Amino acid sequence: MAERGSSSVITLGGKGSSLTSSSVHAIAHGLAQVRIDSSALDRLASVAAPSNQNPLPVTKYQFPKLDTLAPEETRAFLVVLLNKLLLVPAGSSVRTVLPVLVSESLNLLSQSNSWNIQPIIVTEEERVVLEGLTFPSVLSGICAVLDHRSTALSTIVDVVAALSCEASGADVAAFGSMDSGDGFSAKDEIGVAGDLKVLLNGSKLVGKTKNEDVLEIPKINGKLREVVKSVHSSTRIELNSSVKAGISGTAKALGTNVVALAAAIKNLGESSLCRAKTNSINGDDSLRNLFDKDCASGDSLRNAYKAVLDAHFEEDYVKFGHQANILLGIVWKIVAWEAVVALVALEGGELLSEKSNGGDTREDKKSDKKKKKKVVLGKGTGLIVQLIKDRLQSKGSGVLEKWVEDLLSFLDPKDPEFDGLLTKVKEIVESNESRRLPKLAKLCKGGECKKAVTFYLKIHDIESIRYMMADNHGLRPSVFSPCAYYGAFQGTRDFAKEQMAIREKAFSIITDVFKRHGATALDTPVFELRETLMGKYGEDSKLIYDLADQGGELCSLRYDLTVPFARYVAMNGLTSLKRHQIAKVYRRDNPSKGRFREFYQCDFDIAGQYERMGPDFEIIKILTELLDELDIGDYEIKLNHRMLLDGMLEICGVPPEKFRTICSSIDKLDKQSFEQIKKEMVEEKGLTVETADKIGNFVKERGSPLVLLSKLKQEGSLFLENNSSKLALDDLAILFEALDKSKCIDKVVFDLSLARGLDYYTGVIFEAVFKGATQVGSIAAGGRYDNLIGMFGTKQVPSVGVSLGIERVFTIMEQIQKERNQTVRATETEVLVALLGDKLPLAAELVSELWHAKVKAEYMVHKKVNKLFDRATESKIPWMVIVGERELNEGKVKLKNLETRDEEEVPRSKFVEELQRRLNP
């Protein structure tokens, strides 16, 4: 992260750092100086050409003087350019002196508004790099300033709107009913309404008059929040990405969001201006004159917005960004004036009289006290007003013009005290966490819904819950989230003790199989750098959970265990590894039966050079062993080969650049009909109808591996005329023979419709499907990925792996248990030490002897013998050690077998030995 130190210095280029819009804004406005981290210069020095090959400087380079930009936009451009120079890839031959010169020039510019950067001496390669980086850096710098200012505005505008509500006595009851609880309310609109409720909580000034300008606040401000987030996200990426091309891609990527931001800002300005005019009518003549003279008009606001659109239409992206900043400045001024007018209406008379009189008479003080009793602001707005009053009083002026000038300055993001105001606002609106709890649909009378949720959750019939509640309320089933009643996030589960017993048994079986094949265990972080995960999953990349930017690296929750494994192998320079891992992964998917957002995967991967198809055979053999030993019932393993699939697409006439996206479509054939897939391939992905029909003829092929392979290798087969598919068929011939000899080929189905949507597969691909009554989709999948590890390092390490979706397997196991009416012991306790009475020390002594002997035991102290027996029976504990007053006096204990009901007294000194003999006959 770019770090702000105590001396107002921001450091760029540190290890794991990223540049933020707030840092760009601070440097651009002279609020901070810039410094380059020494590690960045060391990195540049290490990748530059060796000294004996170092090219001599050959030319002068003059940074372009962009007259259309404001001084702070020019400085922002240099900040971004400097950061991108520190990000240049290895081998670019950028000398360390170049970013140092830019840094020095930038710090000089921060002290002056004039463009006085002298030409610098650069090599020809450096000139090319600078020219390639200049215009993307200009636009990114402008957008960084825009991002920071609009983000601040989206926070401040809610406070100003709240003050206007109090100044006009507006009815704000509608803010409490923004969230209907049906799942179709706008998130940011609800957020704005919630913040306004927090700010106005306790206010005695609102609730008097209905005002359309007030009722539209949540929608207008909420839309601004939504668009600001998009601008922030795209700007953050552009600030920290190295640029290898020109301005076109960057401009269009940023421009799309900035156009939306300009529209949201314009709408906000018009809304704010209406409220300011309404409240100014009630002010004195001097305030109205100042307002009419200084505040922007509706015409100037619309003209500024038109200038933004014109520049975008002309594709003059630098001017476009500059005009957007001008528009934002105008709206900031309007919002500041709305705050001025509202504050004058609420507190202005008191402030001005105190300053002009230099001291109050006793009569004035009484009058002021009466006024203060009448003006009861909201708890949030009251704190903000006091903060503003303290600032204005510290300036010591009672003249209206100066008072307004001070307040306008305080609401300017360039003001040194503005950050304090912004922080205070955030503290206030975040202080009430209760309003952030999920909105639940109202329960029926008598709590029928909650009773049903409690009952149905025990049998995991989520759909029954949805439809029952929908029928009760007359709404759609999708509206209801049963988990919301208990605070669990949709797509996640809590596991009770019986379920955990099943899971532990399954994990034990899986781990035993993995270890049987010589794998070592590995664990990787639950989150990865976002760039590590992106581009590896094809169209499924949209399901990745991104973590909120905390001012550091951009991170995401892992989508699977394969990509982190590949990153680990590359990072450690390994050339071979056989590993297993059982861990949670996260996907932003639509929850359904057997489909979760948080779930365990059980992975086994083999990386390295081995005999042809050897690792592929072993991986599929492992999968059959897993599913057989988990005893889930009938299943099949669908298998195909990516090179065969590519050959098929080539034969059908699909362009190579569309192979992966068409594979993603084919991969949906297990959920949709071919006609639906054909429509997607033709209408959305640009294939001809003839090409789609040819694909349809091929993907229908499915059958016994050896039989279908023989058919595809018959003389005259189109597959034999294609190099890619011919290699794939040779691979499959070796694989199928090995599977046949290992007596597991009967579980495999050769299926040409299997595509697997993940981009990183290069060879054999497979997917296990449960064939029983419980429909859960695929329960395991995997394949060969020879190029994935090379994406993270310098060496390509061929690999193949399998991933078992254990949550779906658990769903099947639980259903089987229910059908067989089986009960599961939640614990492995063998003995309950049952002490009649209240002597804990004696119970502690006895149970400790059992623990010391490695006997699984629990204890219970109670005066009623029935309670002791109930505990043992409910927990299905097979043996009890019973000690009452008589046994204690005689130095004996009673051993009771709860299954046979036999019991026997044994000496106290030998009870452990006797128990062990009975437990292990």
Chain-centre distance for alpha carbon 860 = 46
Q: Indicate the pLDDT class of residue 35, thresholds 50, 70 and 90.
A: confident
Greatest mean pLDDT among 455-459, 484-488, 890-894: 890-894
DSSP 8-state symbol, 754: -
Residue 682 near residue 675 (C-beta atoms within 8 A): no
Please tell me the predicted confidence (pLDDT) of residue 7: 45
Return all residues near 679 (Cβ < 8 A) that are at least 6 apart. none
Please tell me the predicted confidence (pLDDT) of residue 852: 93
Residue 476 has pLDDT above 60, yes or no: no
Give the span between the Cα atoms of 541 and 471, in whole angstroms: 36
Please tell me the predicted confidence (pLDDT) of residue 445: 40
Please tell me the predicted confidence (pLDDT) of residue 434: 36
Q: What separation in angstroms does the CA of 528 have from each of 19, 268, 579, 604? A: 19, 38, 19, 20
Mean pLDDT of the chain: 80
Give the span between the Cα atoms of 51 and 53, in whole angstroms: 5
Query: For residue 446, what are its two tokens?
Result: 């008598």
> Which residues are bridge partners to 72 per DSSP?
none
Residue 436 has pLDDT above 60, yes or no: no
Residue 275 near residue 291 (C-beta atoms within 8 A): no
**Amino acid identity at 329:** G
Greatest mean pLDDT among 64-78, 415-429, 602-616: 602-616
Please tell me the predicted confidence (pLDDT) of residue 386: 84
Residue 354 has pLDDT above 70, yes or no: no
Cα-based angle 229, 233, 238 (whole degrees, multiple of 5): 145
CA-derived radius of gyration, the chain: 36
Query: For residue 315, what are its two tokens?
Result: 């594709």
Half-sphere CA count of 286, side-chain side, radius 13 A: 10
Please tell me the predicted confidence (pLDDT) of residue 733: 95
Residue 802 near residue 776 (C-beta atoms within 8 A): no
Comparison of pLDDT for 456 and 644, the residue scoring more: 644
Write out pLDDT tens, residues 562-620: 889 999 998 899 999 999 999 999 988 776 666 778 888 899 999 999 999 999 999 99
Query: For residue 337, what are its two tokens?
Result: 């004036």
Please tell me the predicted confidence (pLDDT) of residue 813: 84
Name the phi and psi angles at 33, rounded to 5. -95, 165
Give the span between the Cα atoms of 206 and 170, in whole angstroms: 5
According to DSSP, the β-strands at 764-770 and 635-641 are: antiparallel
3-state SS track over 299-313:
HHHHHHHHHHHHHHH
Give the span between the Cα atoms of 585 and 561, in whole angstroms: 7
Write out pLDDT tens, residues 659-675: 877 887 888 887 788 88
Write out pLDDT tens, residues 212-227: 778 888 889 889 988 9
Residue 75 has pLDDT above 50, yes or no: yes
Please tell me the predicted confidence (pLDDT) of residue 361: 42
Please tell me the predicted confidence (pLDDT) of residue 15: 65
Return all residues near 7 (Cβ < 8 A) that are at least 6 apart. none
Indicate the angle between helix axes 217-239 and 21-28, nearest 10 degrees. 80
Return all residues near 66 (Cβ < 8 A) that are at least 6 apart. 73, 74, 77, 138, 318
Residue 554 near residue 234 (C-beta atoms within 8 A): no
**Amino acid identity at 418:** F
Give 209-212 contacts, CB < 8 A, sequence gap 24+. Answer: 209/168, 209/169, 209/170, 209/171, 210/170, 210/171, 211/168, 211/170, 211/171, 211/278
Which element (helix H / strand E) includes 601?
Answer: strand 598-607
Query: For residue 508, what are its two tokens?
Result: 């034990």
Q: What separation in angstroms does the CA of 229 have from each of 21, 234, 257, 329? A: 13, 9, 10, 19
Closest alpha carbon to 844 in 860, 855, 828? 860
Residue 391 has pLDDT above 90, yes or no: no
> Which residues are bridge partners to 321 per DSSP?
none
What predicted TM-score, i.e. pTM, was given to this entire model?
0.51
Which element (helix H / strand E) includes 531?
Answer: helix 530-533
Q: Indicate the pLDDT class of residue 717, thresholds 50, 70 and 90.
A: confident
Half-sphere CA count of 278, side-chain side, radius 13 A: 21
According to DSSP, the β-strands at 520-521 and 577-586 are: parallel
According to DSSP, the β-strands at 857-862 and 9-12 are: unpaired
Residue 584 near residue 592 (C-beta atoms within 8 A): no
Residue 892 neighbours by CB distance under 10 Å: 18
Please tell me the predicted confidence (pLDDT) of residue 461: 45
Return all residues near 756 (Cβ < 8 A) that are at least 6 apart. 640, 642, 663, 667, 765, 767, 781, 783
Write out pLDDT tens, residues 274-312: 888 888 776 667 778 888 888 888 899 999 999 999 988
| Averaged pLDDT, 500-527 | 91
Write out pLDDT tens, residues 537-546: 766 677 888 8
Name the phi and psi angles at 622, rounded to 5. -60, -40
Please tell me the predicted confidence (pLDDT) of residue 437: 33
Comparison of pLDDT for 754 and 183, the residue scoring more: 754
Residue 175 has pLDDT above 80, yes or no: no
